[in-house]
Amino acid sequence: MSIGIIANPASGKDIRRLVSCATTIDNNEKVNIVKRITKTVMSLGQDKIYFMPDTFDIGFMVIDALKADREDVSGLEVISMPVSGSLHDSVYAGEIMEQLGTGCIIVLGGDGTSRAVAKGIRKTPMLPISTGTNNVYPTLIEGTVAGMAASALTKMDNIEDCCIRDKRIEVYVNGALRDIALVDATVSLDSYIGAKAIWQAEKIKAIIATRCHPATIGFSAVPGALTIVKDTDDCGVMVEQSADGTGVMAAIAAGTLERMKLTEPEIIPVGGEKEMTFEETCMIALDGEREVKVKPGEKITFKIMRNGPYRVLTRKTIEKAQSMGLYLTD
Amino acid sequence: MADNKDMVKDLYLTMRRIREFETNAMNLFAEGKIPGFVHLYLGEEAVASGVCSNLREDDYITSTHRGHGHIIAKGGDLKFMMAELFGKATGYCKGKGGSMHIADGTRGIIGANGIVGAGQSISTGVGLQILLHKTDQVCVCFFGDGSTNQATFHESLNLAAVWNLPIVFVCENNGYGISNPQSRHQKIKDVADRAVAYGIPGVVCDGNDVFAVRETSAEAIKRAREGKGPTLVECKTYRQRGHFEGDPAIYKPKEEQEAWLKKDPLDKMSKWMTDEGGFSAAEVKAIDDQVKAEVAEAVKFAEDSPYPTPESGVEDVYSDIVEEVRDR
């Protein structure tokens, strides 16, 4: 069974490097990470790896580098698809890799990249690696370890206990599904997408999250200052900013703790929904990026569902692989 | 940032002014009315408009050989600009400089420049001057991706970082250095990646989205004004024309050109204004008409203006500045 790699060359370079102390990661390092994943997966006997084509040619650069190392690159393939240089590339690459029957897709990027891939896949497990900014969904793991987990997963008959089916927020405007978020949907008083990221706490009206914890970075950390909702809990949470609410401090961006006043957290069970309308034009930021514009009076509905992507539990997968003897040699 | 209608109108007005000026320059050059070289800013209007919308009148900009857009966005006078393109005595440089040497010291426009990468060194000098005079002014340095292989780029970023100068380096990455696509002269795609080597922030934004440019550059300018040092802002955009007028640009793939034309910054902005920004089609047309009249007036001014006299060729060769300095 094959493995797919989707690496977003645009992650980790936006305005958050100015408005917070966000991490900077250059694309040559992403090439390096993908190279480590690829070498690991090849060492474990995988015969087919698909790469998403992108504006930096990460996949081609990895293949060229491995060719120079005199490795057999016959099983490495950059999939054929048009490249727009936008988020749609990740959505489309996810769709194609699922059609190709890949056993696991490793995703390099931020929360936004994972969200994009999640829109393109239904059943293929995703292993998200953080190369973005304020990441909650992808985690900082070494490419070698990610490669080991992805490879192991493709050799297992039953992957259920190595993955979690994540929750997601479905965003409806006037009853029509407009988009999804994996971690948080934040309503902010903006009227255009602009630099995409949101960072001004005073503009925030409401935050809906599938999970929240005070030890995360981003707007899901805000309800996390009052309550904790885990990825395994069958619920989400909603808070609104209110002048007479409870004062909290939360890490909305790297190195940036903001004070906000919140209503009591409202728990929304999986399958449940929350409706809102606003008198002003608002933008809904999905996983930290302004995406959906809402006009005054339009009805917004946020549904918490457990129909998100299957996310690989890296350590658990590698532990199972070890117990299966996958790392024993002659 | 105030999300108000006046701000949106001003942004669009500036972009439309640049577009109209450049379209006229293109046609007038083809008609043989403009001598010398003309490098047009068509397709890149959102960058100059977005960045300069955050600047004060007493802030500075340095520009490039493709400088009309920067000068218009910083408040340059269309009549004097067009007259300069025509080589007329009423132009910014009395007709002696042409398209690539327009400057206006009264508006902080240090000047367009025919030497690729020269603006970077000049902006470093401007930044040092601001630092020594202890004002809170800022200098924005516009340049293209091709110039980021020049020594001036590296020297300037290094010095600006070391001296913590109030400069915002704005790279207009339009994909080409003359006829060379970026992939043929750089191993990187994001010029902003180079900022880390000088210990300053580097960010990338959509250079065809004026709101993205305005927001991103606002933060960089704020940093500079607050004494936090330089920033490298890379705006991804596209040069819709050839390197200069007369360049058939056969090196640009047709599909690439078509894809970028679909992302035209003016089309994007006018659509947003009528679909989402609360502007009527008539309001947008009124701005367009106003700009058409302004540029038509500038062209007429240029056409009606006299050429410099032969005697003026020896004027303004040396500045009185030397004597002024001696007097101190």
pLDDT digits (tens, 9 = 90+) for B249-259: 999 999 999 99
Q: Is the pLDDT of residue B328 over 80?
A: no
Shared domain for A133 and A192, answered yes or no, is no
- Among chain B residues, the shortest Cα distance to A18 is held by B219
Query: Which residues in chain B (126-145) have CB-CB distances under 8 A to chain A?
Result: none
- Contact list in B for residue A18 (CB cut-off 8 A) is 201, 203, 216, 219-220, 223, 231
Q: Which of A15, A55, A193 sits opposite B203 (nearest CB)?
A: A15
Give the count of Cβ contacts less than 8 A between chain A and B: 71
Residues B201-206 have a mean pLDDT of: 96
Please check whether residue A234 lies inside any domain of the structure.
yes
Same domain for A250 and A104: no
Chain B stretch 2-61, residues whose beta carbon is closer than 8 A to a beta carbon of chain A: 3
Q: Are residues A118 and A195 located together in one domain of the fold?
A: no
Interface test with B, best of A192, A283, A291 (most B CBs within 10 A): A192
Residues 6+ away with beta carbon under 8 Å from B72 = B14, B17, B18, B21, B48, B78, B81
In a domain, A63, yes or no: yes
Q: What is the pTM of this model?
A: 0.91
CB spacing of A18 vs B204 below 8 angstroms: no
Q: Say whether both A218 and A294 belong to one domain.
A: yes
Q: How confident is the model at residue A46 (pLDDT cuts 50, 70, 90)?
A: confident
Q: Evaluate whether residue A329 is within a structural domain.
A: no
Q: Are residues A190 and A315 in the same domain?
A: no
The CA distance from B213 to B202, in Å, is 14
Residue A103 C-alpha, separation from nearest chain B C-alpha, in angstroms? 31
Residue B1 is predicted with a pLDDT of: 40
A5, with CB counted inside 10 A (0-12, 13-18, 19+), is: buried
CATH number for the domain spanning A11: value is: 3.40.50
| A120/A185 same-domain check | no
- For residue range A173-199, what is the model confidence (pLDDT) as tens digits? 999 999 999 999 999 999 999 999 999
Range in A76-80, A126-130, A131-135, B275-279 the model is least confident about: A131-135
* CB atoms A27 and B219 under 8 Å: no
A10 and A157 together in one domain: yes
| Residue A330 forms part of a structural domain | no
Q: How far is A18 from chain B (nearest CA, A)?
A: 6
Return residues 228-247 of B near A (CB < 8 Å).
231
Give a yes or no: residue A328 inside a domain: no
Q: Where are the domains of chain B?
A: 5-327
- At residue A217, the 3 state secondary structure works out as coil
Whether residue B101 is predicted with pLDDT greater than 80 in this model: the reply is yes
Gap from A170 CA to chain B (nearest CA, Å): 23
How close, in Å, is residue B321 to chain A by CA atoms?
40
Rounded to the nearest angstrom, the minimum Cα separation between B152 and chain A is: 22
Task: Characterize A90-118 residue by residue with b for buried, 16 or more Cβ atoms within 10 angstroms of its Cβ, and e for exposed.
Answer: bbbbbbbbbeeebbbbbbbbbbbbbbbbb
Contacts with A293 from chain B: Cβ below 8 Å: 276
User: In this predicted model, what pLDDT tens digit does every residue of B4-34 receive, in sequence order?
Assistant: 899 999 999 999 999 999 999 999 999 999 9
Task: State which H helix or E strand residue A260 sits in.
Answer: strand A256-262
The C-alpha of B212 sits at a distance from chain A's nearest C-alpha, in angstroms, of 4
Q: How far is A237 from chain B (nearest CA, A)?
A: 29
Q: Domain holding A301: CATH number?
A: 2.60.200.30
Q: State how far residue B230 is from chain A, nearest Cα, in angstroms.
A: 11
Q: Which residues of B touch A17 (CB under 8 A)?
A: 201-203
CB-CB under 8 Å, B189 with A55: yes
Whether pLDDT at A149 is above 60: yes
Scanning every residue of chain A, which has its alpha carbon at the shortest distance from the alpha carbon of B232? A18
How far off is chain B from A192, nearest CA to CA, in Å?
8
A54 and B CB contact within 8 Å: no
Q: Number of folded domains in chain A?
A: 2
Mean pLDDT is lowest, of A12-21, B52-61, B222-231, B300-309, for A12-21
Residue B138: name the closest of B70, B75, B51 by CA. Answer: B51
Same domain, A139 and A240: no
Which CATH code, of 1.10.1740.10, 3.40.50.300, 3.40.50.1100, 3.40.50.970, is assigned to B5-327?
A: 3.40.50.970
Cβ separation A13–B212 shorter than 8 A = no
Q: Note whether B204 contacts A13, CB cutoff 8 Å.
A: yes
CA atoms within 13 A on the CB side of B234: 24
Same-domain check for residues A162 and A46: yes
Any A CB within 8 A of B211 CB = yes
State both tokens at B31: 């008609």
Q: Does residue B327 have a pLDDT over 60?
A: no
Separation between Cα atoms, residue A173 and residue A292, nearest integer Å: 9
Q: Is residue A153 part of a domain?
A: yes
The answer for B276, left when phi > 0, alpha when psi is -120 to 50, beta otherwise, is: alpha
Q: Judging by DSSP bridges, how do beta strands B139-144 and B109-111 pair with one another?
A: unpaired
Give the SS3 label for residue A54.
coil
pLDDT score for A135: 81
Q: Which of A8, A16, A26 to mutate to test the interface with B (most CBs of B within 10 A)?
A: A26
The length of chain A, given as a count of residues? 330
Q: Which pLDDT score is estimated for A221? A: 96
| A194 vs B187, B193, B211: nearest CB | B211
pLDDT for residue B251: 96
**Averaged pLDDT score across all residues of chain A:** 94
Which residues constitute the domain of residue A139? 3-166+309-323
Q: Which residue has better confidence, B137 or A85?
A: B137
A261 touches chain B (CB under 8 A): no
Nearest residue of B to residue A189, measured between CA atoms:
B3
pLDDT band at B86 (very low <50, low <70, confident <90, very high): very high
Q: Is A83 exposed, middle or buried (0-12, 13-18, 19+ CB in 10 A)?
A: middle
Which of B 261-280 lie inside 8 A of A, CB atoms? 272, 276-277
* Residue A28 contacts B, CB cutoff 8 Å: yes
Could you tell me if A62 and A111 lie in one domain?
yes
> H or E segment at B70?
helix B68-73
Calculate mean pLDDT across residues B176-193: 93
Give pLDDT, residue B2.
41
pLDDT given for residue A12 in this prediction: 82
Determine the average pLDDT of the residues in A17-32. Answer: 88
Tell me, rounded to whole angstroms, the distance of Cα B203 from its chain centroid.
19
Do the interacting molecules here have an ipTM over 0.95? no
Q: Position of tokens 């946020």?
A: A302
Q: What is the pLDDT at residue B325?
A: 56
Domain check: are A195 and A107 in the same one? no
Using CA coordinates, name the residue in chain A closest to B196. Answer: A24
| B201 closest CB neighbour out of A18, A192, A193 | A18
Mutate: best of A8, A14, A15, A20, partner B, most B CBs <10 A: A15
pLDDT value at position A188?
Answer: 95
Q: Test B201 with A55 for CB contact under 8 angstroms.
A: no
Tokens of A20: 């917070």
User: Which residue in B193, B216, B272 is closest to A15 by CB distance?
Assistant: B216
